[in-house]
Chains A and B, each alone.
Chain A
Amino acid sequence: MSAPSLAPFIKKRPWLSRWMKPLSEYYCHAAGYRQLGLRADDLLPEENDVVQTALKRLRPQEAYDRVFRLRRAVQLSMSHQLLPKEEWVKPEEDVPYLQVMITDIEAEMAEREDLESMIIQKRQKNAAQSAQSGH
C-alpha cells in the first residue's frame, strides 16, 4: 500500500528537510483535504486486504472518529462547503494513524511470503550424518 516516496531521503538530510518543509506545508494546504476535516491517512485507498486488516485493528474510538470524519467530508463535499476555519485539521493533528499499522501488516505479509518460499538446508553436521548412513 505504500507508494515510492522521497520523504525518507529528504528527512535524513536536515538542510534539505528545512528547505522542503514550507513547500510541503503549502502542498498539504492546497490539497484541500484538511479544509474538509480529513487527515492524510483518511485518503488512503481502502479496497485491499492490507488496509482492511489495518482498519480492523483500529481501536474502537479511532475507528469511530475515522468514520465521522469521512461522513462529514462527504456531507461538506455534497453541499459544496468547507468547514469553518477554526475547525480545519491542524498540521499537528494530521498524524499517520493508519500508515504505521499498514507498514506492520506489510512486513507481516512479506515475512509470510519469505517463509513460504524458503529453501531449507540441512545443518552441516546432520547432512554429513545422513549422507553417511545412505538415506
Chain B
Amino acid sequence: MLSRSTACRGAQRAARQQAVRPAQRGLASPASGSFQYQSGEAQGVKYASRDFAGPTTTLALVAKAGTRFQPLPGLTEGLANFAFRGTERRSTLRIVRESELLGASLTAHHSRENLVLEAKFLRDDLPYFVELLGEVASSTKYLPHVYAEEVLPMIHFAHKRFLASVTDMATQSAHALAFHRGLGVPTASSAPTPYTKYLDAETIEWYSKMAYAKPNFAVVANGADHGEFSKWVGEFFENVPSAPIEQTGVGADQSKYYGGEERIAHDGGNAMVIAFPGSSSSTGKFYKPELAVLSSLLGGQPAVKWSAGFTKLGQAAAPGAKVKTTSAIYSDAGLLYTTITGSAKAVAETAKASVDALKKIAAGEISSEEVAKAKAAAKFKELEHGQDIRAGLELTGNGLIHNTQPYQIDEVAKAIDGVSEEAVKKAAKELLESNASVSSVGDLFVLPYAAELGLKV
C-alpha cells in the first residue's frame, strides 16, 4: 500500500518550489540599499547604519582608542586583545561557543586612530550582538591572569611579527618621522618595553573606561534596519560610562607634519618608504581629493593581469621590485607614501625612478589621458573601498566620533570626479617642495639616502 506522502511527493515538491522561488534572491541581483549611512544618537551613544539588502549584518564598535590616543604605549593593543574575553555575565568560552552556534565571527583590530570590535552574523541575531558589544564595552573583567595567559602572548607575537617584516618597519618609521608623536606611534610594539614596563591588567581597565566612554565611541551597522538598530543600541549601551574617567588629551592636538630620514639595518629583506604630507579624511578639514588621484597615478600595482599597468611607478619599477602607493587618510592629516620592496639594487633603482616620476608630473609632463585613467582608478578604488564593509564601518565610525558626521562615499566619489589636471600637477609640485619622510630598512650599503634621490628632508 502506498502511503499518502510517497504518492504525492512529486506534486508536493513542485508546489513547494513554486511557493519558495519568488522569495529567494539570486546572489547577483542588485542590492536596493545605498552607500548612505543614517546616523543618530541614543542616550549619548552615536550610531549609524545602512540597510544594505542581504542576509548578513556586520556590526562594529569603533572607539577613539587607536595608538594615537593611548596615554601609555601598548594600551591599545592590550585593549584590543581583551575584547570578547570574560565579562561579568559570561565567560570567554561562553561568548565563543554562543557566537559559534549563531554562525558569527568576532574580531577586534586597531589602526592608528581607532579600535574596532567587529561582529559578522545573520541578520536575525542583531539584538544578541548589540548586547554583546555593549557588554564588552561596559563589563569586561580585566583579570591579571587573563592578561598574563591570553593577552600578553598575543602582544608579544605582534611584536615579533613586526620585527620580522621590513615593510611594516619602514611604514611605521615613515609615520614616526612624519608625525613624531600621535599618528607616529607604531601600531605594534616596536620594542618589548611597552608591555614589560607600562602594561598590566589594571592599566588596561583604566584605559577601557576612557575608550568605551559614550563620547569616545560609535556603533555602526551594515545591513540592519535603522529603527530596530536604534532601539537595541538605546537598550544595551546603558551601562557604559557617560564620560571618560580621565581626560588625558593625548593625541587631541592637530597633527603636525615634520618629515625626515631614518635608516635601519635589517637582514630580512629591503624596503623603502618615501612619504609626503597627504590628505585628511573627507570628514576632516584638510581634505584634498587630488591626492587620491595622484596616488593612483603614481600607483605601482597593475589592475590588469600580465601588464605593467598605466601607473607611473608600475612602468618605472626595476625588475624584482614591488611598488605600491598608498594615500593613508586620518581624521585630521594624511600621508601619501610609496612602498618599495625587493632586492636592494632594485629597490634603489625604483626609488630613484619614483622620485623622477613625481618630478615629471610636477613639471606637467603627463597626458590628460593618464590623468583620466588615474581619476577613474581612484574613483573605483574609493567606491570599492566603500563596498568593502570593514573599511566603510571604520571610516563611518571615525567620522562620527571626530566630526559627528558619517563618511559618505558617494560624496567622496563626486569630489574625485571634480579634480582637474592642474590640481594634480600642483599637488605634485607642492609635495616636492615639502619635506619628505624617507625610511630605508635593509641593506644600507645599497639603499640610497634621500639627498641622493633629490628629495628635501
Contacts and interface: CB of A to CB of B under 8 A. Distances in A.
Interface in B77-104: 91, 93-94, 97, 101
B305 interface: no
Given A57-B145, A59-B144, A120-B101, A108 B93 contact: yes
Nearest to A101: B145
Contacts of A56: 145
Interface in B8-29: 13, 16, 20
Contacts of A108: 91, 93
Helix, strand, loop or mixed for chain B's interface? helix
Interface string A112-132: 100100101000000000001
Contacts of B144: 57, 59
A115 B94 contact: yes
A111 B96 CA distance: 13
Interface in B193-243: none
Nearest to A53: B145
Interface in A84-133: 108, 111-112, 115, 118, 120, 132-133
Contact of B16 (A111, A120, A133): A133
Contacts of A112: 93
A118 B94 CA distance: 12
Contact of B97 (A59, A115, A133, A134): A115
A11 B99 CA distance: 39
Contacts of A115: 93-94, 97
Q: Size band of the A side of the interface? A: 10 to 19
Contacts, number: 21
A111 B91 contact: yes
Contacts of B97: 115, 118
Helix, strand, loop or mixed for chain A's interface? helix
Contacts of A59: 144
A132 B23 CA distance: 14
B16 A132 contact: yes
Contacts of A134: 13, 16
B307 to A, nearest CB: 46
Nearest to A118: B97
A13 B20 CA distance: 64
Contact of B93 (A57, A111, A133): A111
B21 to A, nearest CB: 12
Interface string B1-45: 000000000000100100010000000000000000000000000
B405 to A, nearest CB: 38
A127 to B, nearest CB: 14
Contacts of B93: 108, 111-112, 115
B89 to A, nearest CB: 12
A57 B145 CA distance: 5
Contacts of B91: 108, 111
A132 B12 CA distance: 10
Interface in B138-152: 144-145
A111 B20 CA distance: 41
B18 to A, nearest CB: 13
Contact of B94 (A57, A111, A120, A133): A111
Of A56, A115, A132, A134, chain B has the most CB atoms within 10 Å of the CB of A115
Contacts of B145: 56-57
A24 B335 CA distance: 71
B20 A133 contact: yes
A132 B16 CA distance: 8
Given A108-B93, A115-B93, A133-B20, 8 more contacts: A56-B145, A59-B144, A111-B93, A111-B94, A112-B93, A115-B97, A120-B101, A133-B16
Interface of A: 56-57, 59, 108, 111-112, 115, 118, 120, 132-134
15 contacts: A56-B145, A57-B144, A59-B144, A108-B93, A111-B91, A111-B93, A111-B94, A115-B93, A115-B97, A120-B101, A132-B20, A133-B16, A133-B20, A134-B13, A134-B16
Interface of B: 13, 16, 20, 91, 93-94, 97, 101, 144-145
